[in-house]
Amino acid sequence: MYYFKLQCLQPNFVSSLALQQSAVSNKLASIPSPISFQDSSHSGSFLHTCQPVTTAEFLRILHSVPPKSSSVDFVPPSLVRSRAAVFAELIAELANRSFSNGCFPACFKHAAITPLLKKPTLDTSDPSSYRPISNLDFISKILERLFLARFQPHILACACSNFNHHQSAYRPCHSTETSLLSTPDTIYRASDIGFSTLLVSLDLSAAFDTIDHVTLINRLCTSFGITSSVLSWLQSYLSNRTQSVCIGHHSSTPTRCTTGVPQGSVLGPLLFATYTSPIATITRSFQVCHQQYADDTQLFIALNPSDPSSDIANLTSCLHALHSWFCLNGMALNPDKSDAILLGTRQRSRTFASVHSVDVAGC
């Protein structure tokens, strides 16, 4: 039973990405005149090096994370915790050498994939019903947290320029609450002045797994001022990673990961947020509001009752531009999970009875 699932799941995870990349290429080729985009240039301070790691910092992080073990652990988390004073010196030195040399340890680049069923109602015999979650080495995640403590403040300092401040995930003082408050507030404000709101919810297929490493590294350098050993470390972190599917005590043959960030990693979410940050610039150029939580994106625009057609045209143009951008960046919209809804009072909704559908670039 385990052997059968391994033989099905590992090739499926790899082949599904290959098929998606091919589908994205075909979609891009089918766009009559794809819109070209240029990443915004960074205008603030640059992040060249990482501040040294101290043993006190390591101990603080060690006691703040749950001691979850994984099949790829070199040292059991329980041992690291019980001999914290000994490991503090070793891991602080490892981190400092890793950061200064711009090199992530190769022994920490393997992930054990646990297939999680997306929904209880899905067919357990269908490989596409599972989501691949990466289980990483405990010490490697400590290294990631130490790096994040230096990387995140710089990235979030760019929130006033290139970082998307409408992204409610992976940021301090932001959550699903932020997103749930912001979107209805905008809709209610439009309703108060007699406008309805047309909202489109976009979903991306395997968003975290389709991030192009070269594009991400270029964007971090161009738009966020990441350079020198810090950029080299991130490049090393992303490159030459492998994964194998694990079920029970059985593991599949390791395969190379040429795209994406590990789901279950510490750095992956923030790297995804920086990768998709140009979405804010695109929507703003069409005067369309948007809100993001992780890879879920909502676009919405207030419809002027006296001339709704121009507002709908703006939203449609914005959707086409985003479709081009997603394709150029190796990502694909999921038409089965993308929806549109018209929000407003009953009286106002009758005014827009002619709005039956929204073209999400062919989706």
pLDDT the model gives residue 352: 65
Mean pLDDT over residues 162-171, rounded?
Answer: 87
Tokens 């968003």 label which residue? 207
Mean pLDDT over residues 242-261, rounded?
Answer: 86
Lowest-confidence pick of 17-31, 68-82, 215-229: 17-31
- For residue 8, name the pLDDT band (cuts at 50, 70, 90): low
Asked if residue 363 has pLDDT above 70, the reply is: no
Mean pLDDT over residues 107-127, rounded?
Answer: 86
- For residue 308, name the pLDDT band (cuts at 50, 70, 90): confident
Asked if residue 43 has pLDDT above 90, the reply is: no
Tokens 């161009």 label which residue? 222
Tell me the residue type at 268.
G
Contact assessment for residue 182 and residue 164, using Cβ atoms and an 8 Å cutoff: no
Tokens 């290959």 label which residue? 18
Asked if residue 119 has pLDDT above 90, the reply is: no
pLDDT the model gives residue 20: 62
Mean pLDDT over residues 9-25, rounded?
Answer: 61
Mean pLDDT over residues 203-229, rounded?
Answer: 93
Lowest-confidence pick of 26-30, 35-39, 307-311, 356-360: 26-30
Lowest-confidence pick of 53-57, 248-252, 279-283: 248-252
Contact assessment for residue 267 and residue 145, using Cβ atoms and an 8 Å cutoff: no
Asked if residue 116 has pLDDT above 60, the reply is: yes
Asked if residue 70 has pLDDT above 70, the reply is: yes
Burial class (CB in 10 A: 0-12, 13-18, 19+), 318: buried
Among candidates 12, 98, 90, 106, which has minimal Cα distance to 55? 90
Cα 126 to Cα 22, 131, 206, distances in angstroms: 22, 12, 17
Contact assessment for residue 292 and residue 164, using Cβ atoms and an 8 Å cutoff: yes
Mean pLDDT (the chain, rounded): 86
Of all residues in the chain, what percent carry a pLDDT higher than 70?
Answer: 86
pLDDT the model gives residue 288: 95
- For residue 61, name the pLDDT band (cuts at 50, 70, 90): very high
Asked if residue 11 has pLDDT above 70, the reply is: no
Transcribe 311-346 into DSSP letters: HHHHHHHHHHHHHHHHHHTT--B-GGG-EEEEES-H
Radius of gyration (Cα) for the chain, nearest Å? 22
Half-sphere exposure of 336 (CA within 13 A, CB side): 1
Distance CA 197, CA 183 (A): 11
CA dihedral 264, 18, 106, 115 (to 10 degrees): 30
The set of long-range contacts for 242-245, using a CB threshold of 8 Å and a minimum separation of 24, is 242/109, 242/110, 242/111, 243/110, 243/111, 243/112, 243/113, 243/132, 243/134, 244/10, 244/110, 244/111, 244/112, 244/113, 245/6, 245/9, 245/10, 245/13, 245/112, 245/113, 245/115, 245/132
Among candidates 175, 159, 215, 201, which has minimal Cα distance to 328? 215
Distance CA 36, CA 223 (A): 17
Distance CA 133, CA 97 (A): 29
Asked if residue 55 has pLDDT above 50, the reply is: yes
Q: What's this model's pTM, rounded to 2 decimal places?
A: 0.89
- Residues β-bridged to residue 112: 135, 244
Q: Classify strands 110-117 and 241-247 as parallel, antiparallel or unpaired.
A: parallel
Helix axes 228-238, 138-156, angle to 10 degrees: 130
Asked if residue 354 has pLDDT above 80, the reply is: no
Of all residues in the chain, what percent carry a pLDDT higher than 90?
Answer: 48
